[in-house]
Amino acid sequence: MKRKIMKLTGLILCLTLAMFAFAACSNDSKKADGSSEKKNPIVGTWGFETNSEWEYKFNADGTGSYTFGGEPMTFTYEDDGKEIRLKYDHADNVNVYKYTIDGDTLNIEDDFGEVTVFKKK
């Protein structure tokens, strides 16, 4: 009888430890209000590889700006991890670009298959 209780207690302890171990492995970060948010790797400022006047800035709230040697053009964006959809303020069309991120390098492919390389600032 004592042996059965010891086995049952050991089993319960192992299950409890396993439950806490899996809960600690979550990829979501918790915000102060208790909701979870995954970090989007495109968020940040990206400068054109060979011309410092070109720059994309993506904010976490889905807004951003594109600067080309002057005033920034603001936009809203949607990102699915493979394509980004940019809707510039005061424009009717939506620009869709394929992209990849490798470390601090952002590669954006236009409609013609031309890839432009940006570096994270």
Decide if 25 is inside a domain.
no
Q: Is the pLDDT of residue 15 over 70?
A: no
Average pLDDT rounded to a whole number, residues 10-27: 45
Number of residues that make up the chain: 121
In the prediction, which pLDDT does 16 show? 45
CB 16 within 8 A of CB 26: no
Mean pLDDT of the chain: 78
pLDDT confidence tier of residue 49, bands split at 50, 70 and 90:
confident
Query: Confidence band (pLDDT; 50, 70, 90) for 35?
Result: very low
Which residues are within 8 A (CB) of 51 and not within 5 positions of it... i.e. 6 or more apart?
Answer: none
Residue 24 resides in a domain: no
Print the SS3 string covering 53-114.
Answer: CEEEEECCCCEEEEEECCCCEEEEEEECCCEEEEEECCCCCCEEEEEEEECCEEEEECCCCC
Domain range for 82: 40-120
Residue 97 lies in a domain: yes
Residue 7 vs residues 2, 3, 13, 14, 15: alpha-carbon distances, Å: 9, 6, 10, 11, 12
Domain count, the chain: 1
Residue 116 lies in a domain: yes
The region of weakest confidence among 3-12, 14-23, 39-48, 102-111 is 14-23
Lookup result for tokens 């915000």:
31
What's 51's domain CATH number?
2.40.128.280
Please check whether residue 57 lies inside any domain of the structure.
yes
What local confidence, expressed as pLDDT, does residue 4 receive? 53
6 has pLDDT over 90: no
